[in-house]
Amino acid sequence: MSSTGRSLRRSRTNRMVAGVVGGLADYFGIDSTLARVIYVIGSVVSVAFPGLLVYAILWFIVPEE
């Protein structure tokens, strides 16, 4: 659990695929659309493969709400 008393969880309601980026947006307190744009831009800049790999890993590691 983080020091603020909240933990990282995949979102059940704010999801496009598995709720990973929605959960990250909730955790960091930012808009989910902004989080998705940042994630996609980061993936494109890194030639997409690492972004997809990180997403898949987080999908299996981060528990659902």
Q: What percent of the chain has pLDDT over 70?
A: 91
Residues of the chain where predicted confidence (pLDDT) is lower than 50: 1-2
* Axis crossing angle, helix 32-45 with helix 49-61, rounded to the nearest 10: 130
One-character DSSP codes across 1-29: --TTS----B-SSS-SSSSHHHHHHHHHT
d(CA 19, CA 53): 15
Q: What pTM was computed for the model?
A: 0.76
d(CA 46, CA 44): 5
Provide the token pair at 63.
Answer: 């528990």
pLDDT tens for each residue of 32-41: 999 999 998 9
